[in-house]
Amino acid sequence: MESSDLLYQEIILDHNRNPRNFGELSNATHKAVGHNPLCGDYIELYLIVKDNVIVDVKFSGVGCAISKSSASIMTTILKGKTIEEAKQIFNDFHTAITSEIDKKIDTQNLGKLEVFLGVREFPVRVKCVTLPWHTFIDAIEKNS
């Protein structure tokens, strides 16, 4: 195992133990529920969007370490982004994480999301990683 894999595991475990932005927003402008029956992951996502900017975001629910840490990291990324920026980040991330394991990925614009690229070896787990993001897209498109 490469040392970077260990580092990434540590980041994922940290976000699982201490999820950021965990909770609910009673004054949310956008809300959605996501469910991954393959793993049992369940997420509720709350957003406050003002003038096309995500000013606050929280999530709650239960899930495996991968889905929970993915949701946690996602919330830290979404805050302060415009809807368009957020969608572009997910586009790049989705392309990267669904690509072949031996494909060289340009990690430049992935930022913190790079920690999940190891999951490409486990296709079932890819759904755990992308669930929070699909829930985000759902929330935005349902309520806009």
- Which stretches of the chain bind Zn ion, using CB under 5 A? 39, 41, 64, 67, 128
- Cβ closest to Zn ion, residue 45 vs residue 83: 45
What is the nearest approach in angstroms of Zn ion to the Cβ of residue 103? Answer: 23
Whole-Å CA distances, 32 to 41, 60, 68? 14, 11, 16
What is the nearest approach in angstroms of Zn ion to the Cβ of residue 96? Answer: 19
- Cβ closest to Zn ion, residue 30 vs residue 36: 36
- Cβ closest to Zn ion, residue 48 vs residue 65: 65
What is the nearest approach in angstroms of Zn ion to the Cβ of residue 134? Answer: 13
What tokens were used for 110? 């992935």
